[in-house]
């Protein structure tokens, strides 16, 4: 059964890739359909990756002599803790870039003002 599913997935990939050799089929796909298909496939791949990583995390906690329910809780806390760290990191990076951008603008204005004052 697993081999059949793998073979069908490979055939679907080959069929999808062969579409580019027929310009009439390429013209049928609108940007909206392609964007939706890419978004859907990215979501599926992300979901599959996270589920696999989450299961490995639960097994690692179980191997570390935690009970099954506590291993699941710790894996969930670790996952959402990682999400929180990434969000805070992104927020701080955006805050730094805005400050840096503002600093650059202020430095440019100061230099322009200094050049104007030095000429007069």
- Residues in CB range of 29: below 8 A, 6 or more apart: 19
Report how far residue 56's alpha carbon sits from residue 50's, in angstroms, rounded to the nearest whole number.
Answer: 10
- Centroid of chain to Cα 7: 28
Q: Name the region of 96 (left: φ>0; alpha: ψ -120 to 50; beta: rest).
A: alpha
pLDDT at 62 over 90: yes
pLDDT at 87: 85
Q: Answer yes or no: pTM beyond 0.75.
A: no
CA-to-CA distance for 77 and 63, rounded, in angstroms?
17
- Taking the C-alpha atoms of residue 100 and residue 94, their distance in angstroms, rounded to an integer, is 10
pLDDT digits (tens, 9 = 90+) for 18-58: 777 877 777 777 778 778 888 888 888 888 888 899 999 99
CA–CA separation, 21 vs 14, rounded Å?
12
């Amino acid at each position: 059964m697993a081999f059949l599913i793998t073979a069908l997935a490979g055939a679907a990939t080959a069929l999808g890739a062969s579409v580019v050799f027929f310009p009439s089929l390429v013209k049928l796909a609108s940007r909206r359909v392609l964007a939706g298909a890419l978004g859907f496939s990215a979501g599926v791949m992300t979901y599959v990756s996270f589920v696999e990583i989450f299961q490995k995390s639960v097994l690692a906690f179980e191997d570390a002599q935690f009970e099954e329910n506590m291993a699941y809780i710790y894996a969930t806390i670790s996952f959402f803790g990682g999400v929180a760290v990434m969000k805070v990191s992104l927020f701080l990076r955006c805050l730094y870039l805005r400050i840096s951008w503002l600093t650059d603008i202020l430095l440019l204005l100061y230099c322009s003002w200094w050049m104007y004052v030095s000429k007069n």
